[in-house]
């Protein structure tokens, strides 16, 4: 299996995100896709050659989650950007976050507060596939901290590469720009 890099160039021109920032971010994403394919190919060759009891095999197995999740989280992130329409307050997403957090505003406050925490990583609104609950979760590294059995509904990158070129240390300004560009239609499709 080979993963293909998706084209997100339609996001260029999005308010609050410079072309330089986006192109740099696309290049980083492409690296994750390329490395995912490389790791999968090397592991397949090692399996075929019977080299599965080596430290190299074990380390590459561990590395797969970092590369794959780096690729996939960027895809979720880019796909939930570029929105032109406001949130449908009568839609499924607004209804679910209101049920889970008491109001849309309470959910947004928690999501933004999570994104404003010190550190680097991701903020992911997860929906528990089994029980239906919603959680705003901080992810430090691509491969750790994910909620098993949960679907990412909204993903925000809060590694420095996502905002430093345009916002410096003003993460709150980046988060405000992110929310102005959420593709609520994509988010709506992800929620159950």
Q: Is 1 inside any structural domain?
A: no
pLDDT band of 145, cuts 50, 70, 90: confident
Residue 161 has pLDDT above 80, yes or no: yes
Paired tokens of 152: 């990412």
Q: Is 152 inside any structural domain?
A: yes
Please report the pLDDT score of residue 39 as a whole number: 97
Contacts of 122 (CB under 8 A, 6+ apart): 73, 77, 138, 139, 142, 155, 156, 157, 158, 159
Paired tokens of 141: 């590294």
Rounded Cα distance between 165 and 28, Å, is 14
Judged by DSSP in three states, 132 sits in coil
Query: Per-residue pLDDT averaged across 133-159, rounded?
Result: 94
138 and 174 belong to one structural domain: yes
Rounded Cα distance between 162 and 148, Å, is 25
Q: What is the extent of the structural domain holding 136? A: 92-190
Cross-strand pairs, 125: 136, 154
Helices (H), 2-144: 19-48, 55-79, 92-101, 104-115
Q: How many domains does the chain have?
A: 2
* Angle, alpha carbons 163-166-170 (nearest 5°): 65
Q: Is 171 inside any structural domain?
A: yes
Question: Which domain-ending residue is among 28, 56, 79?
Answer: 79
Q: Is 73 inside any structural domain?
A: yes
Per-residue pLDDT tens digits for 35-79: 999 999 999 999 999 999 999 999 999 999 999 999 999 999 999
């Amino acid at each position: 299996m080979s993963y293909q890099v998706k084209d997100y160039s339609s996001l260029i021109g999005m308010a609050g995100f410079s072309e330089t920032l986006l192109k740099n971010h696309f290049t980083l994403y492409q690296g994750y896709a390329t490395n995912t394919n490389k790791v999968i190919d090397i592991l397949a060759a090692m399996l075929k050659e019977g080299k599965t009891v080596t430290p190299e095999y074990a380390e590459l197995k561990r590395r797969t989650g970092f590369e794959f999740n780096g690729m996939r989280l960027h895809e979720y992130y880019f796909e939930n950007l570029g929105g032109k329409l406001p949130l449908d307050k009568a839609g499924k997403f607004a209804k679910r976050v209101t049920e889970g957090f008491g109001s849309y505003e309470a959910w947004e406050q928690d999501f933004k507060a999570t994104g404003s925490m010190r550190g680097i990583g991701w903020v992911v609104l997860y929906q528990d596939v089994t029980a239906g609950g919603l959680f705003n979760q901080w992810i430090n590294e691509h491969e750790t901290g994910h909620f098993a059995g949960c679907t990412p509904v909204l993903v925000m990158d809060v590694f420095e590469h996502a905002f430093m070129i345009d916002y410096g240390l003003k993460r709150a300004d980046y988060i405000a720009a992110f929310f102005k560009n959420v593709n609520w239609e994509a988010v709506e499709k992800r929620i159950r």
